[in-house]
Each structure stands twice: as C-alpha cells, then as structure tokens.
C-alpha cells in the first residue's frame, strides 16, 4: 500500500518508492511531521516526541503542555501567529484585521489516483503503478477556514506531490496573505543547499553551498519563473555528489512568481517551504470561496543528485503533459531566427526549406518577423496577420509549400505581449497590465497584455485557434520576451489587485489548456527569451522549451547540464548554430555543435544555404545518426559523468534497453599542452555484461574498439586525451547479444 493509516495512533505513513513520509495527529489536533527519508516499514512508532521538550522563549499553545510549542514542533502546514517564529506556510488576514491562523485536524480521506488543483497544470497518475492520494482536512474554528492538504504518491516512485485547498466556511471574508504548497521540517543535520540560478543567456547553472542560520531563499518576483531562478531547492547531506548523499528536493509546478525557502531553526533543524511568492500575492476568500495552490513535487534520493534527477525525469516523462505529446519522439527542427532574424519571407523560407528537407530536417519554424510591420522589435506585436509583402500567399501559402516538401511548418508567436505601435494597442490600450496614473515601463519596447482579464483570454484563444486552423501549421513556438512591471488590472476591484499576478498565470494556463486540448497534434514549444520560463507548469502544455538564447556549444554545456538536474533531455531544445557564434563570437567545430545539440532535442538554427557541400554532408550525417539514436536519447536514462564546472570537460551518457546499449558523449573545454589522459567512468551499465565499444565521433558506426566488461567500463572508464579546444568524442556501446535492428 502506498498509504497506510494507523487509526488508533493517527499516523499517516506514505510509501513513495524507496522513501517514506510520516506524520501524525498529536495532542490538540496538531499535525506533527515525523519523517521523510529512506523507506521504513509502516510498523511501530516513528515519532520524534523526544524532541518536544520545553525550550526557553518558546511559548506553548496550551498552559499545561509546556512541550507543545509551535516554535519547536515539526509541522506539516504551519500557520502564522501562534508562537512559531519560523517561516509560515499560511498567513491570513481576517475581517477584523487579525492575522492569526491555527489549524487542527478535522478528518482525512484516502483516494485512488491523483487529483489536481483546478485551473493549474498538474501531474497525471502514471498507469503502471498503484497511485493514491491522502487528503487531510484541517480547520481553524475561529475564522472558519479549512485547509485540505493533498499528498499523492505512487508505490514505485520516490516522490510525494503536495498541494493545498483553502476553503472559507465562515460568514466573513478571509484574505490569504501567503499560501505555500508545501512545508517540511527536517531535524538537525549538516545541510547543503543545491539550486539553479542564472540570467538571460546563462540559465540554470548549478550552485551549492553550506546552509547557515537564517533564511535561504530562491525566488522570482518577475511574473515568470525567470532566467534568474528555478522553482527548485534541494537540501542535501554535506558533500553531496552525483552518487553520494541524501537529497531532499522540491520543485513547483508553476510558471509565475515563486518562493522556495530553507530556514535554519534555532536547534539545528531546517524548515523547507515552496509555493507562490507572497510579496506579490494576496487572495480574497469571500464566504463559500476556495483557493487551490499549485502542486509541489517533493523528491527524496538516498544516493545523490543522479538519483534525484532520475526520479524527476521519470515522473515528468510519465505524468507531465496534458495532451498529445507525452512520451512521443520530438522532431528535428530548423528555426529561422539566427538564419534570417526579422527578414523572413516566403521565398527565402522556401529556399532554406529545400536545403533543410534535403539534409533530413523535419520541421521548419518561421520565427519572429512574419506579421504586421514587424521589421524590428519595436512594433506590431498584437497584430497577428502575416505581412503581405513578405508572404504574398500568407502563412498558409508557405505552410503548403513546406508540406509539399515533406516538412512540417512551425510558427513563432508572442501572444502575451503588445507593441505600442500596433493596431491592437490603439484599439485596446486598456488590455495592458497597468496601474492608473502610472506610466508603463517597457521591456524590449513592449507592454504586457492583461491575462487576468477574461476578455483578453478569450480573444487570445480565438485568434490563435483561427491562425492554426487557417494556416495548417503543425508547430507553435510560444515566446514571452519581458518580465512584468506595474502589475494591476482595471477589471478587478482594489481589494483584488493583489491577485493579478496569479490571475495572469491562470489566464495563460487557460489559453494553453484550450489550445493544446483542441489541437493535440500541434506541438507547442515554450520560450521566454530562451529559457526564462522553463518550469514544470509550462512543460505541461509545451513539452519542449528553447533552453537558452545562447546557442554557443560550450556555454550550452553548463546550461544543459544544470537543466538536466530536473528535466529530461527531450524537454530541452538545442540548435546547431553558425560560427562565429552570434552571442559570444566563439568558433567551435561543427561536430562539437552537433554533439551538444544531439545531447538534447536536436535542431538547427543557421542559414544552411551559406554552408559548403562538405558541411551540409556533415549535417546530413548528424541528422541520420540522430534519427537512429533518437529513442535512445529521448527515452533513455541520462547520467551526468563529468561536470563542466569541475572537470574542464562535460560528459554524459544515455542508457537504454535494460542496460544493453548506451551512448557516451564527452566534450572538451580548453586544450592543455601536454595535458593528461582523462578517464571517463561510466555508469548504469550491467557489470556482468560485455559491451562492444564503437567510436561514433563522426556520427557513424565508425570503428569498433573492442569488447569491454561493464565492470571495467564503470570501474575504470573510457580514456581519451583531448588536444584541441572544444573537441568532442562519442562512443556507442552494446552488449554482444543485443540486436539493435535499426541502429546499424
């Protein structure tokens, strides 16, 4: 059973794969968190009551229970104001202006399957295992607010999915000031944090350090999850590595402002919390109204970051994704942006597409520049009609020509934005986010549409649906090129202005839900100036995301490596681009650019017409080989082997078919004179099997190097001496018995 309840002791014992999560209803109906760690059997007592000793300056809620202080009790969903001086999960304001909330146990229910919060992306129960949900109802009898805590688990996955529903059951208004999705109190230990940070062009670099006293926060108040932060925070055993150390990680299924906290408490413990950021959030609950938080995914891994990643990858592959594309192979794309920028037109796109079709590309995406008077980034956002000079036969005409070449057609849109210089802005200036009497800041010369306004949402669903149907496009690249400022909306009263940030995200999800539901065959790619909104919320609708506007192969090593901490490689689009690279001017070999993009969801973004015959042949070969390897890369198990920060090289491998085959990719950074011979120790193989090792660096089954034992490949590794900057090396391994059919 994934969920065991001891009625007598009022214990709740969740078994999530190889982990357990335990809490209990204690005196006065409080919910005490006892355990989150390696799996334990649901027998006997697991409590940490020995920790509940009276502490100086820790007020007790009940006079003769000095030990029962909210300040020392490990809790499941701490409220503000009853003597817990740590970060609360819930803070409210009642109709009298008081802010105390005091939640006690009021019942529970165990159900099959995984329910999800209304209007928000959520994880779908995988079909191959027992999936259960525990719902625990808490109640504050004074303000008559109920909180239902949801915990979903699958018996074979080390993840607990948490979210909360808050119901106003009284007759007065309650305003939510903070409503996190999950909170967990961990006991004393030497903890290290792991997080992903960055900025435009440098997303999701791994950062780690010792956790100290005080509050460690990872957050975004930019209106999106952002380039700068990732809605993720892990607390790990000191010295954590890919294969060592207990890790407890949280990731929020949400695309707006978020807050993740790790707070060292006075006694060496840590409180974790994750949810919507309260600096930009308030929600009014009138009598009878409810609010549901996004889901937080809690992952426990006993053996380091690799295991943590495998849990996230498996969960997101199986359970994230609303319609159509979950689990399907992703096509090979050519994007026009770095090839033509704003100068796209029918003739050039079709010329380029002919070369693309010839080398094996599957989708051509017409990026920015196709609509209105869009000759630069100063105008036309909002006027989503193709430019008749650039596209005399419209987008339908170019889509027809691409289809005739055997290609699919993709189109760039940035629906959430409007340029001042546009018909839309002239007609509907009130459709922008804004605050009366304040001027509006511009980002990339554009303003943000008010997605908290249902009229704007309906308009967006309508024009995008019409565009898809009239043009016959197969692929939509959904961009979002600025962060929010002056956030307010004329459609909501003053008391609800604090809701607009979250209502914006809900509006966005409504549009995406409608479109992906109506057009399940259309593949939506997410983008926000590259990877500025790369989160599980967006991945639910856009199963792949443009990982970064930085297409330089060497910078991409760190970006893709960091992103892989949480997300499977097929979610990351990666394009081979021109040299010198447009962002950093670096010149890297075509094969290296190929291998870096090959390590994710392969695509191209350069003017193929300008390449030599030899370069085109090489690209043709890359694509042919990727097609042979696509299911291994896009569905295999991913192992990070060498870190771009630590090792002067980056290495990883994909393992599939029950460890019968693997692909190893290793990229050098800086050449060293008389440098060492390096060893790359492999992982995930079968130590008892013998593997044929083939050098596939040239994107073909070039040279068989020999037959080596899995034990040796993992114990000692593969050796190479890189002697040039940015060199790439790749090997394909398969067991003697494995007949890979189409691979060779």
Chain positions contacting ligand GLA, by CB under 6 A: 337, 367-368, 412, 479, 481, 527, 529-530, 546, 549
Burial of 587 (0-12, 13-18, 19+ CB in 10 A): exposed
Indicate the residue among 280 and 571 with the shorter CB distance to ligand GLA.
571
Smallest gap, in angstroms, from Cβ of residue 598 to ligand GLA?
20
Annotated catalytic residue within 383, 549, 552, 690: 549
CA distance 744 to 738: 12
Indicate the residue among 269 and 410 with the shorter CB distance to ligand GLA.
410
Indicate the residue among 130 and 607 with the shorter CB distance to ligand GLA.
607
Smallest gap, in angstroms, from Cβ of residue 343 to ligand GLA?
12
Other C-beta atoms closer than 10 Å to the C-beta of 725 total: 16
DSSP-derived 3-state class of residue 250: strand
- Spatial neighbors of 59 by CB under 8 A, at least 6 apart, are 69, 70, 71, 83
Active-site annotation holds for 549? yes
CA distance 27 to 19: 27
Indicate the residue among 291 and 546 with the shorter CB distance to ligand GLA.
546
Smallest gap, in angstroms, from Cβ of residue 434 to ligand GLA?
23
Indicate the residue among 321 and 529 with the shorter CB distance to ligand GLA.
529
The radius of gyration of the chain from alpha carbons, rounded to an integer in Å, stands at 27
Indicate the residue among 410 and 684 with the shorter CB distance to ligand GLA.
410
CA nearest 377: which of 418, 410, 338? 418
Helices and strands in the chain: count of H runs, count of E runs: 12, 38
CA distance 316 to 308: 12
CA distance 202 to 196: 11
Smallest gap, in angstroms, from Cβ of residue 498 to ligand GLA?
30
Q: Are 479 and 527 in contact (CB under 8 A)?
A: yes
DSSP-derived 3-state class of residue 70: coil
CA distance 667 to 552: 13
| Cα 316 to Cα 124, 253, 683, 725, distances in angstroms | 9, 11, 22, 35
Count the residues in the chain: 744
CA distance 104 to 119: 28
Indicate the residue among 26 and 527 with the shorter CB distance to ligand GLA.
527
CA distance 677 to 658: 31
CA distance 744 to 739: 9
**Residue nearest ligand GLA, Cβ-based:** 368
Indicate the residue among 166 and 381 with the shorter CB distance to ligand GLA.
381
Indicate the residue among 479 and 552 with the shorter CB distance to ligand GLA.
479
Smallest gap, in angstroms, from Cβ of residue 480 to ligand GLA?
9
Indicate the residue among 547 and 735 with the shorter CB distance to ligand GLA.
547
Q: Are 271 and 185 in contact (CB under 8 A)?
A: yes
Smallest gap, in angstroms, from Cβ of residue 71 to ligand GLA?
47
Annotated catalytic residue within 47, 479, 552, 690: 479
Sign of the alpha-carbon torsion through 332, 509, 298, 190: positive
Smallest gap, in angstroms, from Cβ of residue 296 to ligand GLA?
28
CA distance 466 to 101: 48
Q: Are 316 and 567 in contact (CB under 8 A)?
A: yes
CA distance 598 to 633: 8
- Spatial neighbors of 696 by CB under 8 A, at least 6 apart, are 625, 663, 702, 730, 731, 732
Smallest gap, in angstroms, from Cβ of residue 337 to ligand GLA?
5
CA distance 589 to 297: 40
Smallest gap, in angstroms, from Cβ of residue 589 to ligand GLA?
23
Q: Are 36 and 186 in contact (CB under 8 A)?
A: yes
Smallest gap, in angstroms, from Cβ of residue 582 to ligand GLA?
11
End-to-end CA distance of the chain: 44
CA distance 308 to 433: 39
Active-site positions read 479, 549
């Amino acid at each position: 059973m994934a969920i065991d309840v001891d009625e007598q002791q009022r214990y709740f014992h969740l078994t999530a794969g190889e982990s357990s999560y335990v809490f209990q209803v204690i005196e006065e109906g409080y919910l005490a968190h006892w355990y989150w760690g390696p799996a334990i059997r649901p027998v006997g007592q697991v409590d940490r009551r020995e920790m509940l000793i009276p502490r100086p300056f820790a007020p007790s809620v009940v006079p003769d229970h000095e030990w029962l202080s909210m300040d020392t009790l490990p809790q499941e969903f701490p409220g503000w104001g009853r003597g817990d001086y740590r970060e609360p999960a819930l803070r409210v304001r009642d109709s009298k202006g008081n802010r105390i909330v005091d939640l006690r146990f009021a019942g529970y229910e165990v159900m099959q399957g995984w329910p999800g919060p209304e209007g928000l992306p959520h994880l779908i129960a995988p079909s191959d295992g027992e999936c259960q949900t525990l719902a625990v109802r808490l109640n504050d009898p004074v303000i008559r607010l109920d909180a239902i805590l949801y915990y979903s688990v699958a018996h074979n996955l080390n993840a607990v999915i948490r979210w909360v529903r808050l119901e106003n059951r009284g007759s007065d208004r309650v305003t939510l000031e903070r409503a996190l999705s999950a909170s967990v109190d961990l006991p004393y230990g030497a903890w290290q944090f792991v997080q992903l940070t960055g900025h435009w062009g440098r997303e999701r670099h791994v950062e780690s350090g010792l956790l100290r006293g005080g509050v460690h926060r990872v957050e975004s108040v930019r209106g999106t999850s952002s380039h700068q932060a990732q809605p993720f925070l892990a607390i790990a055993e000191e010295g954590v590595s890919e294969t060592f150390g207990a890790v407890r990680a949280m990731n929020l299924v949400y695309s707006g402002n978020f807050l993740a906290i790790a707070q060292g408490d006075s006694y060496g413990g840590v409180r974790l919390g994750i949810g919507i950021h309260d600096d930009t959030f308030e929600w009014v609950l009138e009598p009878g109204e409810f609010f549901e938080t996004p889901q937080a995914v809690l992952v426990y891994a006993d053996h380091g970051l690799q295991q943590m990643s495998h849990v996230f990858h498996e969960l997101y592959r199986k359970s994230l994704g609303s319609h159509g594309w979950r689990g399907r192979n992703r096509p090979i794309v050519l994007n026009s942006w770095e090839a033509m920028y704003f100068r796209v037109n029918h003739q050039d796109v079709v010329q380029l597409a002919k070369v693309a079709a010839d080398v094996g590309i599957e989708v051509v995406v017409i990026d920015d520049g196709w609509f209105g008077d869009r000759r630069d980034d100063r105008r036309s956002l909002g006027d989503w009609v193709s430019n008749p000079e650039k596209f005399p036969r419209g987008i339908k005409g170019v889509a027809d020509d691409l289809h005739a070449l055997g290609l699919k057609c993709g189109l760039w849109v940035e629906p959430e934005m409007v340029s001042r210089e546009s018909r839309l802005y002239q007609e509907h200036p009130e459709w922008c986010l804004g605050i009366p009497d304040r001027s509006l800041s511009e980002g990339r010369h554009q303003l943000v549409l008010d997605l908290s306004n249902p009229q704007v949402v309906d308009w967006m669903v309508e024009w995008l649906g019409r565009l898809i149907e009239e043009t016959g496009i197969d692929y939509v690249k959904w961009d979002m090129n600025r962060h929010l400022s002056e956030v307010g909306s004329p459609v909501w009263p003053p008391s609800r202005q604090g809701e607009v940030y979250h209502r914006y995200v809900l509006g966005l999800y409504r549009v995406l839900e409608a479109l992906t539901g109506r057009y399940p065959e259309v593949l939506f790619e997410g983008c926000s100036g590259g990877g500025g909104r790369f989160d599980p919320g967006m991945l639910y609708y856009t199963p792949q995301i443009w990982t970064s506007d930085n297409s330089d192969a060497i910078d991409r090593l760190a970006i893709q490596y960091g992103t892989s901490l949480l997300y499977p490689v097929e979610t990351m689009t990666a394009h081979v681009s021109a040299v010198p690279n447009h962002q950093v001017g670096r010149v890297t070999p075509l094969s290296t650019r190929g291998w870096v993009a090959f390590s994710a969801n392969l695509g191209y973004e350069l003017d193929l017409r300008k390449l030599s015959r030899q370069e085109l042949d090489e690209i043709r070969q890359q694509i042919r080989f990727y097609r042979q390897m696509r299911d291994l890369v896009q569905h295999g198990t991913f192992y990070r082997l060498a870190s771009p920060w630590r090792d002067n090289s980056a290495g990883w491998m994909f393992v599939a078919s029950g460890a019968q085959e693997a692909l190893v990719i290793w990229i050098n950074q800086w050449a060293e004179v008389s440098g060492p011979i390096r060893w790359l120790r492999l992982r995930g193989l079968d130590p008892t099997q013998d593997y044929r090792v083939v050098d596939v660096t040239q994107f073909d089954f070039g040279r068989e190097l020999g037959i080596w034992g899995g034990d040796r490949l993992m114990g000692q590794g593969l050796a190479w001496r890189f002697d040039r900057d940015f060199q790439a090396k790749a090997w394909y391994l398969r067991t003697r018995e494995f007949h890979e059919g189409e691979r060779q």
